Structure 1
Amino acid sequence: MPELDTLDPSQPATPSAELPLSPGARRPNPAEAAPRPASDPGDSLSADLRGLDALQTETRTSRPWWRRLVDGALPPIVLLALLIAAWQAYTLIAQPRPDLSPGPLDVAAALGQSWEDGRLQVAVTTSLERGILGFLIAIAIGTPLGLLLAESRLLRRAFGPLLSGLQVLPSVAWVPAAIIWFGLSDATVYFVVLMGAVPSIANGLVAGIAQVPPQLRRVGTVLGASRWQLATTVIVPAALPGYLAGLKQGWAFSWRSLMAAEIIAFGGTIGFGLGSMLQQSRDLADLAGALGTILVILAIGVVIELLVFAPIERGLLRRRGLTGAGA
């Protein structure tokens, strides 16, 4: 019987990878044989977040400033031209009494006469100066007041209804009292403007802060922000859309209050504004001049909206992804 070969314990065993392979067999790849590591949940979450960001990110095309200005101003200009054309057509066809229904040419002639006299320039300058200065003072008063009411529940419950009532109250109602208190002076006009604008600005800020998610407050507190830092760097920036709406409404109330005060408080040391010019046209039964002054007051309001508030609002909403890039 043939003797079997015995293994020498002193010699190392031959690894299986080095054993001779049968014909047609393939040597295994160690990389394929090694187990694959489990996918990292953090990488998957990052990929998902990047996908969500890509869905929420809008493709923005940069447009020159003049193109944005034309796109915003052209539609109202075209509409105004059509209204003036319809007005002129009515005047030519119906031929009403010029003293009761003046046409666009009569109104333009009245404005041209006011421009030659210098009254129009003085009135526009005086009213704009009062309106802008009064609005800035209203912002300086209404913003801290709105922050205080928004952060203090007790004060908001106590003063909130009063502030809303002041906002509903027509600002022209303050004119007689302001004349008694301050006389026929510019202080009367500024007082009426403030009483019309401050409640709107404060209420707008309170409404904007009420819509801020509470998670932002918690994150700011966890990061160690003080009460002042939390209000100025977290709460107010998050409440900017509501605050901007309050500012727009505050400007509208201040401009209307200014016109009402200038119409009623006429004379004395009060300067000559657009309201005074409108009252003067009424005293002279000059309907063309009155309509021309009304159009100037309307045009100033439209220009302020198009050149100041509308670009700020579009930029704010676009940065937050709330409007399209072409808006």
Structure 2
Amino acid sequence: MATETSTPAAPAVHGRPSDSALAAGLDALETPIVNPRPSFAVSVWRSAWPVLAALAALVVVWQVAYTLELKPPYALPSPADTWQTFVSTVQDGTAWLAMSTSVRRAAVGFVLSVVVGVAIGTALAASQLLRRAFGPIITGLQSLPSVAWVPAAVIWFGLTDATMYAVVLLGAVPSIVNGLLTGTDQVPPLFLRVGQVLGARGWTRIRYVLLPAALPGFLGGLKQGWAFAWRSLMAAELITVAIGGGLGQLLDTGRSLNDMSLVIVSIFLIFLVGIAIELIVFSPLERAVLHSRGLTGQTSSTGRRK
């Protein structure tokens, strides 16, 4: 630990720093960088004000376009009319019912996708033969639009929630598998050698060495998997409106009624759920994982990592 002293450093000898100067420099390197953490309110405001400013700018542009009548009012309603539609859908419970139905379906489908994706990804990471055989297929499935699975899922499972879950699984699992494989590829070989020296073999090596070390990289795959799951569900709800419920059906209702205000409100609610899941689930999870591994770069006033 660096100590403060008033003793001046010895002069350099023949252009080279003296031993005391070198020691002072090394002590300075060990001096902790104190980064006081801002309060919760300040952190929230710092994160929120750029987004709020951007949304305000979009609303201004929207109002200008409405005033200039770039589109007929039925195709481009005013922000005030859209706000009234939003308030009415919230007050009569339509928005809450649609959001809760979609979030429930997405949550169940995503949990199943994580279970299946981790199982497949672990098997591919443990066997180079399986990875060479199925790796390109997983990548191809990831590039396939999830909406293409909707007709097949309807034929397989009929107009039930199982169709929604099947589409979510087929849309999210490839991203989760590739995310896990990417995380395992980033594991330093030294970790694996140390685990081998300590006797970690087979499932023990995977459970206690490979998967924990791959977790930071795997989080990116989970976030991408959620994005694919949410988009897949919206596509399924939009096409299979006969199943009922969900934000996708609310969006299709606005289209059927030629109610652009309801269409915009539905799009906003879909966007809102996506942002909320990111802020409530994935951002805290990512911070917790990075904090547990000392990757946040924050130190307390005592010099210890926070």
Q: TM-score range by the shorter chain?
A: 0.7 to 0.9
* Residue number in structure 1 paired with 2:249: 276
For 2:28 and 2:169, how far apart are their aligned partners in 1? 46
Question: SS at 2:187's partner residue?
Answer: coil
**2:289 aligned to 285, 292, 316, which one?**
316
**1:138 aligned to 113, 121, 124, which one?**
113
Moved more, 124-133 or 226-235: 226-235
The 3 A distance-change label for structure 1 pair 51 and 229 is farther
Tell me by how many angstroms 1:151 deviates: 0.9
* Residue number in structure 2 paired with 1:83: 58
Q: TM-score, normalised by structure 1?
A: 0.77
For 1:123 and 1:286, how far apart are their aligned partners in 2? 17
Tell me by how many angstroms 1:315 deviates: 4.1
- Whether the 8 Å CA contact 1:73–1:306 is kept in 2: the answer is no
Tell me by how many angstroms 1:86 deviates: 2.5
One-letter code of the match for 2:111?
L
For 2:252 and 2:66, how far apart are their aligned partners in 1? 25
- Number of matched residues? 275
Deviations 1:103-161, CA, capped at 9 Å, x for gaps: 21121122222223322111011001111111111111111211110110010011101
Deviations 1:57-91, CA, capped at 9 Å, x for gaps: 65443344443333323321222122123222332
- Whether the 8 Å CA contact 1:203–1:246 is kept in 2: the answer is yes
The 3 A distance-change label for structure 1 pair 160 and 271 is same
Q: Does 1:307 align with 2:280?
A: yes
The 3 A distance-change label for structure 1 pair 58 and 211 is farther
- Whether the 8 Å CA contact 1:72–1:306 is kept in 2: the answer is no
* Residue number in structure 2 paired with 1:296: 269
Tell me by how many angstroms 1:225 deviates: 2.4
Matches within 5 A, 1:94-105: 94=69, 96-105=71-80
The 3 A distance-change label for structure 1 pair 322 and 203 is same
**2:171 aligned to 196, 205, 213, which one?**
196
* Residue number in structure 2 paired with 1:233: 208
Deviations 1:237-260, CA, capped at 9 Å, x for gaps: 211122000000000000000000
**2:153 aligned to 171, 178, 199, which one?**
178
**1:153 aligned to 128, 146, 156, which one?**
128
Question: SS at 1:184's partner residue?
Answer: coil
Tell me by how many angstroms 1:96 deviates: 4.0
For 1:186 and 1:52, how far apart are their aligned partners in 2? 62
Tell me by how many angstroms 1:234 deviates: 1.7
One-letter code of the match for 1:184?
L
* Residue number in structure 1 paired with 2:259: 286
Q: Does 1:124 align with 2:99?
A: yes
* Residue number in structure 2 paired with 1:3: none
For 2:109 and 2:83, how far apart are their aligned partners in 1? 30
- Whether the 8 Å CA contact 2:180–2:218 is kept in 1: the answer is yes
- Whether the 8 Å CA contact 1:208–1:242 is kept in 2: the answer is yes
Moved more, 174-183 or 71-80: 71-80
One-letter code of the match for 1:163?
I
For 2:188 and 2:28, how far apart are their aligned partners in 1? 20
- Whether the 8 Å CA contact 2:66–2:73 is kept in 1: the answer is no
* Unmatched 5+ stretches in structure 2: 1-22, 300-306
Q: TM-score, normalised by structure 2?
A: 0.82
- Whether the 8 Å CA contact 1:184–1:266 is kept in 2: the answer is no
Tell me by how many angstroms 1:304 deviates: 1.4
Q: Does 1:169 align with 2:144?
A: yes
* Unmatched 5+ stretches in structure 1: 1-46
State the superposition RMSD in angstroms: 2.4
